[in-house]
Amino acid sequence: MGRRIIYMGTPEFACPALRMLAEQSDVEIALVVTQPDRAAGRGRKMQAPPVKHLAESLRVPVYQTASLRTAEQRRPLVEIQPDLIVVAAFGLILGTSILELPPRGCVNLHASILPRYRGASPISAAILKGDPETGVTLMRMERGLDTGPMLDTACLVIATDDTTASLTGRLSDVAGELLLMNLDDLLTGSIPQVAQPSGASVTRSLVKADGWIDWTRPREETERHVRAMWSWPRAWTTLPNGSAFQIHLARTDDKAGPAVPGTASINDEALRVRCSDGWISVERGQLAGGKSLMGSQLVSMTQFAGGPVLGGQAGPDEPGPMVRAVAE
């Protein structure tokens, strides 16, 4: 029985499943395929994807590519002749030539309970929409974006303080466990599959403009927005002078009193900002050119003295809805 696997993934989410696969003595990870190194951070230094770092530490061969469109780009995969390809947040849609390469097909670990939140940002979308739970779907891949039949799912409750970063970490462990639970059936071709039900939605990639805070929205929605945007692109607004102010952590607040949405208020050693129906308390934030500060430190900043209205500058161009329904 063949047990040669190609693993395809790029970010931290894809690491636990790879690590768990590597611990299985009866399978061979013949190749790890990941995205190229890219410039990141303030210094724009080249950084390798987390999956590359892990694969190298596991002494598994690594192939980095930004495309699989040509026969030459696909050659390293074809030469392996894998029995199964496992994908987790790789970042590219696979063409028919790759999908049909392994006799046991290609499967994907997708961080939502399909058909809800297909696409690039399912974890942020689940927090932003206030869903009580999310999970991971193990699915068989086809040409469409996360449209293939479902093989198994695992659910996870979303905590009230979960950010995209923290929820991603927990879901990545769930993904690895879900893969191992079904691995033998995947490799023998005995795993059952079911078509996705109706009611699909798709998410796009996040952009910097998604972090912009609309203070005319309700406070609970604003608090979820802050969590959904952490750790990238981060929720942000502007001071009256036009400089950016990031809000890293916030909570809804019981402060009373009306005010114009976006109004900042300092009292009881807390920095609060007015939303449409109440206030949020800024627990951690960062002024332009500064470092991340706790709310108790922010209250001493002169930028917030006198009750300035935040977000008064014109916001970025609307990037469009992050989640849209899929026409059936």
As a whole number of angstroms, the distance between CA 279 and CA 273 comes to: 5
DSSP conformation class of 40: E
Q: Of 197, 158, 202, 208, which is closest to residue 319 (Cα–Cα)?
A: 208
pLDDT of res. 33: 98
Cα 37 to Cα 53, 140, 176, 244: the distances in Å are 11, 28, 24, 29
Backbone torsion region of residue 215, taken as left when φ is above 0, otherwise alpha when ψ lies between -120 and 50, otherwise beta: alpha
| Residue range 92-141, pLDDT digits in tens | 999 999 999 999 999 999 999 999 999 999 999 999 999 999 999 999 99
Residue 10 has pLDDT above 80, yes or no: yes
Q: Which of 231-234's residues contact partners 24+ apart within 8 Å by CB, and which partners?
A: 231/163, 231/164, 231/165, 232/206, 233/206, 233/207, 233/208, 233/209
Residue 43 has pLDDT above 80, yes or no: no
As a whole number of angstroms, the distance between CA 164 and CA 233 comes to: 11
Three-state DSSP class for residue 302: helix
Mean predicted confidence (pLDDT) in 197-220: 97
Mean predicted confidence (pLDDT) in 216-231: 98
Q: How confident is the model at residue 268 (pLDDT cuts 50, 70, 90)?
A: confident
Residue 37: phi and psi, rounded to 5, are: -60, 145
Q: Of 140, 132, 143, 137, which is closest to residue 111 (Cα–Cα)?
A: 137
Residue 44 has pLDDT above 90, yes or no: no
Residue 1 has pLDDT above 80, yes or no: no
Residue 154 has pLDDT above 60, yes or no: yes
Q: Of 237, 247, 248, which is closest to residue 215 (Cα–Cα)?
A: 237
Q: How confident is the model at residue 41 (pLDDT cuts 50, 70, 90)?
A: confident
Residue 288 has pLDDT above 60, yes or no: yes
The β-bridge relationship of strands 264-267 and 270-274 is antiparallel
Share of the chain above pLDDT 70, in %: 99
The number of residues in the chain equals: 328
Question: Do residues 185 and 293 lie in contact, with contact meaning Cβ atoms separated by under 8 Å?
Answer: no
Mean predicted confidence (pLDDT) in 186-215: 97
The β-bridge relationship of strands 106-110 and 84-88 is parallel
pLDDT of res. 315: 84
pLDDT of res. 257: 87
Across the chain, what does the average pLDDT equal? 96
Mean predicted confidence (pLDDT) in 272-296: 96
User: What pTM, to 2 d.p., does this model score?
Assistant: 0.96
Q: How many CA atoms lie within 13 A of 68 on its CB side?
A: 22
For 261, residues 6+ apart whose C-beta sits below 8 A from its C-beta are: 215, 216, 274, 275, 276, 311
pLDDT of res. 20: 98
pLDDT of res. 327: 83
Domains along the sequence of the chain with CATH: 4-203 (3.40.50.170), 208-304 (3.10.25.10)
| Residue range 161-187, pLDDT digits in tens | 999 999 999 999 999 999 999 999 999
> What is the dihedral angle through the alpha carbons of 10, 113, 22, 189, rounded to the nearest 10 degrees?
-120
| Residue range 63-74, pLDDT digits in tens | 999 999 999 999
For 289, residues 6+ apart whose C-beta sits below 8 A from its C-beta are: none
As a whole number of angstroms, the distance between CA 172 and CA 114 comes to: 16
Q: How many CA atoms lie within 13 A of 259 on its CB side?
A: 20
pLDDT of res. 260: 96
Q: How confident is the model at residue 37 (pLDDT cuts 50, 70, 90)?
A: very high
How would you label 224-250 residue by residue, b for 16+ Cβ within 10 Å and e otherwise?
Answer: bbbbbbbeebbbbbbbeeeebbbbbbb
Mean predicted confidence (pLDDT) in 296-306: 95
Question: Do residues 111 and 146 lie in contact, with contact meaning Cβ atoms separated by under 8 Å?
Answer: no
Mean predicted confidence (pLDDT) in 256-284: 94
